[in-house]
Structure 1
Amino acid sequence: MLQKVANFIQDQCLILPGDKVIVGLSGGADSVALLHILKELRGQLKLELFAAHINHCIRGQEAINDAVFAEDLCKSWNIPFFLKIADIPELSRRLNLTEEEAGRQVRYDFFYEVMDKVKGNRIATAHHKNDQAETILHNIIRGTGIQGLSGIKPIRDGCIIRPLLVVTREEILDYIKMHSLSYREDATNADLTYTRNRIRNRLIPILTREYNPDIIERLYIMGNIIREEDEFLTDYCSKVYRELCTLESGQIIMHLNKFNACHGAVQKRLVRLAVSKLRGDLDGVGYDHIDAVVTLARRSRTGTRTLVPASGKGCPVIVAEVIYDKLIFRKNNDETPVEYYDELLPVPGQVRLEKLGLIVTAEKWDRKKSLHFSSQCIYIDEDAVKGSLRLRQRVKGDRFKPLGMNGSKKLKDYFIDMKIPRDERDRIPLLVDEENIIWVVGLQLNQDYRITGSTKNILKISIEYQRDNGG
């Protein structure tokens, strides 16, 4: 078995010469065997070895005895030992997690803490073939996709390694017996309250006895096959994602037609990628959420949207919406609508629209000076202005005469033609006088206020953005 594990480590590139490896040592047979194997391979693999143990405060004196055993074992084998005591029952209540979830979170946080302390680069856990089979069955029972069917990876996140995945629990117990190794029994492993224990102690024995005596090996091989195919799909979809997506102002924007041309399986992976990049993870994101985004994109109705929910870990709600030829993903910041504004613009003078992060300045302009039109600066015929200048928000029924047109146009239709998202329209101020819209700020000038050869007096209107206001 020692050579079998050594070959697996080499084939999977789990440990390289000079690596510092932290072993999660519970004191049970699996982790004791793992620590012993790595100790035996220490010279061959040129690694440094450390052990980390957590007292979960679940089993009273038995848990204390486990910690004493683990520490004594490491002293006898000359392996640096680290201990953490964590009240998992209290933590699970406080975080609204199961004890299994809370314990796992604390364990890995502690392993990373130890890795940082010793400047390590590998965390080794004692998962084996039976664990692989249990994980795959557990995922099937809960409902899963191709990633869940692939089970436990030999290496995860570039540093968490599972050197024993190539051996069964029976092989580990034979190894323990051959080397006369002591270990601790965890009574909670027989507690059928836990789903995983019921799978281990009830379901797998039935499957082995009545359906397939080689079920552990079959599930292990299936996991390997599916994981290989999943890795190919992940790599392929990452390339497609880079071709289809851009990141603009914190939003992920996909080309809608190209997205809809992709196979449905690829579409779902692209959505998962976009959501995970904005959220940080996919915790709490299910098939229905992903499918709702795909359905939204296929219908391609501009202005429609769906929400991907937040998670218990603080990940934000994600909004997926179709805006013309784009599928847009953004965090839902729950911005309140911009309050209606209507501000006098003195000439000369300026007005600050604080909620828009905008300063608008009006000044008289010498006709002899050159004119530099841009999206942030216009020049108008002062004599065409009727009364005072104001800056206001759009209102229902607004019309104006875009530059180059003879007749007027509904402002709403103009926004639609310009593909301005509905949520952004209230954030676009209008420069008006007492009768007309003079400038859709940053976008379009009114034909009747343009500079002509007969213009005598000129006003320069310019804007300055003070911050990124998201609109």
Structure 2
Amino acid sequence: MKNLKTLYLPADMTDQTTIKNDFINAIAKAIADFNMIDSEDAVLVAVSGGPDSVSLVLSLLALQKKHRIKIGIAHLNHMLRGEESIRDQSFVKALAEKLDLPFFGEQKDVRAYAKKHGQSIEEAGREVRYQFFDQVAKNHGYKKIATGHNKDDNVELVLMNLLRGSGPKGLSGIPPYREKKYIRPLIRVSKSRVLDFLKVEKQSYVVDSSNTDMAYLRNKIRHSLIPHLQSEYNPEITDALDRLSNILKQEEDFWNTQTEQAFHNCLIKSEIDYLYFAKSSMSDLHPALLNRVFRTAIFCIKKDLKRISHAHINDVVQFCFNSTSGISMDLPDQIRVYKNKTSIMIKKEKEPLRQIGKKEKKLKRLANNKQGNKS
């Protein structure tokens, strides 16, 4: 009887049902494939008011009974677009009320934050946004934080990283699941499918005017480079690049396992501010694996890899294994690499490296003077 009823639906209504069901099923499959949500999880949805995050809320609501999840909405007003930012915040708050979901909103002067911390607006915006989401989740018991990154976003990031000369990790794009907390259920659906779904649902959304500002590299890629590649080289370029990123994600999973094993095999001693490695064990590693072990070690001590480039890692390798001069090498943010015949130490210094260098030169000079006086 159910099939007979479907046959008598108007054609456009059948199409709409298919669009809706296919969209929600795609989200459900991504959640299942990447084990994003456990039964009875509390999920905080990051909602900007744009089509991606709005469709994310609606699709999670459609799956709420299946997963028995608790859903909340979080919105950060970056205070970058004046009245438009206020409009977005009001829209998201009204959406939460309409859907009968908890709403957590806050305003943050991102421009002032960027100036204070010497960051770009994009870097500062991302940092304060995730700080806000983390705090809300911690305060209100949300185990997962869902963001609206879709397939097109992933492809844009792959191209951005390709243009910057990134390695395999950068070309693997946006991880579907990060830190066992951040989930991206839309990662397999395109922007066009998002818009079709919202049209079927008759759900409005807001548009961020900065998304058309060609001063941003991502917007140049979205509005200029990708359409050019589609028209001149490959109409299915987004699918091709998405496949590439998925292949590299699998490769990265493998390399991460190998790196963790090699890291611990080479490690002699670990403290909060330094790591000791056996030089002979590290010298036996394949260059690709050695690079990754050094990156992991620096991350463990520095807590991030900001300002650490591929060139820095190459310099560390050269210093440790191919240079006979020097006992230490300086990296950004007070990270110093020490070497001797048997070991390598990576340390986070408490003082600025320049200041340490001056002290070392002074001590060396005093030692030389003392030796000269003896002779």
Scaled by the length of structure 2, the TM-score of the pair is 0.87
Match of 1:21 in 2: 43
The answer on whether the counterparts of 1:19 and 1:46 sit within 8 Å (CA) in structure 2 is: yes
Q: 1:282 aligns with which of 305, 309, 312?
A: 305
Match of 1:98 in 2: 120
Query: What is the CA-CA distance between 1:300 and the residue it aligns to?
Result: 5.6
Match of 1:453 in 2: none
Give, in whole Å, the separation in 2 of the partners of 1:31 and 1:68.
Answer: 15
Larger strand percent: 1
Query: What is the CA-CA distance between 1:247 and the residue it aligns to?
Result: 2.0
Query: What is the CA-CA distance between 1:398 and the residue it aligns to?
Result: 11
1:131 and 2:106 correspond: no
Give, in whole Å, the separation in 2 of the partners of 1:89 and 1:330.
Answer: 33
Task: Give the match's secondary structure for 2:371.
Answer: coil
- The alignment covers a number of residue pairs equal to 342
The answer on whether the counterparts of 2:265 and 2:281 sit within 8 Å (CA) in structure 1 is: no
Task: Give the match's secondary structure for 2:38.
Answer: coil
Gaps (5+ residues) in structure 2? 1-22
The answer on whether the counterparts of 2:266 and 2:278 sit within 8 Å (CA) in structure 1 is: yes
The answer on whether the counterparts of 1:303 and 1:323 sit within 8 Å (CA) in structure 2 is: no
Give, in whole Å, the separation in 1 of the partners of 2:196 and 2:123.
Answer: 31
Give, in whole Å, the separation in 2 of the partners of 1:192 and 1:337.
Answer: 49
Match of 2:135 in 1: 113
The answer on whether the counterparts of 1:42 and 1:48 sit within 8 Å (CA) in structure 2 is: yes
Relative to structure 1, the CA distance from residue 207 to residue 320 in structure 2 (aligned partners, 3 Å threshold; closer, same or farther) is same
Give, in whole Å, the separation in 2 of the partners of 1:265 and 1:150.
Answer: 17
Query: What is the CA-CA distance between 1:339 and the residue it aligns to?
Result: 9.0
Give, in whole Å, the separation in 1 of the partners of 2:321 and 2:265.
Answer: 19
Give, in whole Å, the separation in 1 of the partners of 2:91 and 2:128.
Answer: 21
Q: Residues 294-346 of structure 1, C-alpha deviation per residue, up to 9 Å, x if partnerless?
A: 11122263743321111xxxxxx211122112122122344545998xxxxxx
The answer on whether the counterparts of 2:275 and 2:346 sit within 8 Å (CA) in structure 1 is: yes
1:265 and 2:288 correspond: yes
Give, in whole Å, the separation in 2 of the partners of 1:337 and 1:89.
Answer: 40
Q: 1:86 aligns with which of 84, 108, 112?
A: 108
Q: Residues 137-173 of structure 1, C-alpha deviation per residue, up to 9 Å, x if partnerless?
A: 0111122111001000000111000000010001101
Correspondences of 1:337-352 after superposition (within 5 Å): none
Give, in whole Å, the separation in 1 of the partners of 2:193 and 2:135.
Answer: 31
Correspondences of 1:326-365 after superposition (within 5 Å): 326-334=343-351, 335=356, 336=359
Match of 1:350 in 2: none
Relative to structure 1, the CA distance from residue 228 to residue 90 in structure 2 (aligned partners, 3 Å threshold; closer, same or farther) is same
Relative to structure 1, the CA distance from residue 265 to residue 30 in structure 2 (aligned partners, 3 Å threshold; closer, same or farther) is same
Gaps (5+ residues) in structure 1? 311-316, 341-391, 400-471
Match of 1:256 in 2: 279
Q: 2:218 aligns with which of 196, 206, 214?
A: 196
1:299 and 2:322 correspond: yes
Q: Residues 360-383 of structure 1, C-alpha deviation per residue, up to 9 Å, x if partnerless?
A: xxxxxxxxxxxxxxxxxxxxxxxx
Query: What is the CA-CA distance between 1:283 and the residue it aligns to?
Result: 0.8
Match of 1:241 in 2: 263
Query: What is the CA-CA distance between 1:251 and the residue it aligns to?
Result: 3.0
Larger helix percent: 2
User: Which has the larger displacement, 329-338 or 281-290?
Assistant: 329-338
Give, in whole Å, the separation in 1 of the partners of 2:41 and 2:306.
Answer: 31
Query: What is the CA-CA distance between 1:67 and the residue it aligns to?
Result: 1.0
Q: 1:161 aligns with which of 183, 190, 198?
A: 183
Q: Residues 394-424 of structure 1, C-alpha deviation per residue, up to 9 Å, x if partnerless?
A: 952899xxxxxxxxxxxxxxxxxxxxxxxxx
1:33 and 2:36 correspond: no
Higher relative contact order (CA 8 A, sep 6+): 2
Relative to structure 1, the CA distance from residue 262 to residue 95 in structure 2 (aligned partners, 3 Å threshold; closer, same or farther) is same
Query: What is the CA-CA distance between 1:248 and the residue it aligns to?
Result: 5.4
Match of 2:6 in 1: none
The answer on whether the counterparts of 1:302 and 1:322 sit within 8 Å (CA) in structure 2 is: no
Give the AA of the match of 2:185. Answer: P
The answer on whether the counterparts of 1:302 and 1:323 sit within 8 Å (CA) in structure 2 is: no
